[in-house]
């Protein structure tokens, strides 16, 4: 399959293009970065996909049968709110609409678990673990932008039934392969520091996912368009929490609104359910205890 990946040079994008190439796809990365992902056989185009002419040229050159949309501002509060909303929402609509206009059979966009609103003062979840059916309650511009991305996916699925299979994936706190060995994570500290100082991982409810595992779900959804309902949302989160204590104890400490509900998260259970993705055959295989252990043995 010819696949176009937007944001292919990013933290998640590098793994997505690598996994797709390993699975035999013809992959092109499109990114603002002049440096493409270091993956043999993957082509790279430098383009601003908000520019109509550049976007049209990229799609005309690649003629994608599948599109993975990852590009955008990836960190809450990293830019002014109006910029985050403008870039993320316009970019998603432009890319996904171009996918159907240029004949792609499937398109999947990256959303975020932050749409559920954790971190807001007084946040109280409707249930734990958190499923895709939980109400969306964004409290910052980044979370709102991802709610709009998901709605754009559903809108296009309704507008073009049968033409292109659309879906959204909410990857957890993405950990790239080099970050297990001590490279800084998205927030500037290491995985080991997130474990040593639980207040760091508490901001994301102790969720995480290895970038390669998340990439495998993007590939699976792209390859099996008929297996996912039109516009469906899927969580991509590891099967354990990024914590050395049970979340039944940790969550109420940092998120008082979870008291009572957190009691059902026994042992190493995470705050998020990825059962919907698991029903498709996805398995998050790279868990923190094994990955950190392997990194330590490799030193």
- Asked if residues 168 and 232 have their Cβ atoms less than 8 Å apart, the reply is yes
**Could you write out the DSSP letters of every residue in 106-175?**
EEEEE--GGGG-TTSTT---SSSSB-TTSPP---SHHHHHHHHHHHHHHHHHHHSTTT-EEEEEEE-SEE
- Asked if residues 108 and 69 have their Cβ atoms less than 8 Å apart, the reply is yes
CA 291 to chain centroid, in Å, comes to: 20
Q: Please, which residues have CB within 8 angstroms of residue 105's CB and are 6 or more apart in sequence?
A: 65, 66, 164, 165, 225
Alpha-carbon gap, residue 84 to 77, rounded angstroms = 8
Beta-strand relationship, 165-171 and 232-236: parallel
Which of 150-179 are b and which e, b meaning 16 or more Cβ less than 10 Å from the residue's Cβ? Answer: bbbbbbbbeebeeebbbbbbbbbbbbbbeb
Look up 208 and say whether it is catalytic.
no
Beta-strand relationship, 209-210 and 66-69: unpaired
- Asked if residues 246 and 265 have their Cβ atoms less than 8 Å apart, the reply is yes
Beta-strand relationship, 106-110 and 66-69: parallel
Show which residues are catalytic.
142
């Amino acid at each position: 399959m010819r696949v176009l990946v937007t944001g292919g040079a990013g933290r998640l994008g590098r793994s997505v293009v690598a996994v797709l190439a390993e699975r035999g796809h013809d992959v092109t990365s499109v990114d603002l970065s002049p440096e493409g992902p270091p993956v043999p056989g993957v082509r790279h185009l430098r383009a601003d996909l908000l520019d109509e002419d550049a976007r049209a040229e990229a799609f005309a050159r690649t003629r994608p049968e599948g599109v993975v949309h990852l590009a955008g501002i990836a960190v809450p509060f990293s830019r002014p709110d109006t910029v985050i909303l403008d870039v993320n929402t316009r970019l998603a609509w432009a890319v996904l609409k171009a996918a159907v206009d240029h004949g792609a059979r499937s398109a999947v966009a990256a959303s975020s678990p932050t749409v559920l609103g954790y971190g807001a003062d007084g946040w109280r979840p409707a249930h734990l673990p958190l499923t895709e059916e939980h109400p969306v309650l964004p409290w910052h511009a980044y979370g709102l932008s991802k709610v709009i991305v998901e709605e754009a996916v559903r809108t296009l699925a309704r507008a073009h039934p049968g033409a292109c299979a659309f879906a959204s994936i909410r990857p957890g706190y993405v950990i790239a392969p080099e970050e297990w060995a001590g490279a800084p994570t998205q927030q500037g500290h290491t995985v080991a520091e997130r474990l040593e100082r639980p207040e760091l991982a508490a901001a994301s409810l102790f969720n995480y996912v290895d970038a390669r595992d998340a990439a495998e779900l993007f590939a699976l959804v792209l390859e099996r368009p008929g297996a996912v309902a039109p516009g469906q949302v899927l969580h991509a989160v590891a099967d354990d929490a990024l914590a050395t204590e049970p979340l039944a104890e940790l969550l109420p400490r940092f998120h008082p609104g979870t008291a009572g509900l957190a009691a059902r998260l026994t042992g190493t259970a995470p705050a998020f359910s990825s059962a919907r993705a698991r029903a498709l055959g996805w398995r998050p295989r790279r868990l923190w205890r094994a990955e950190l252990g392997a990194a330590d043995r490799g030193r």
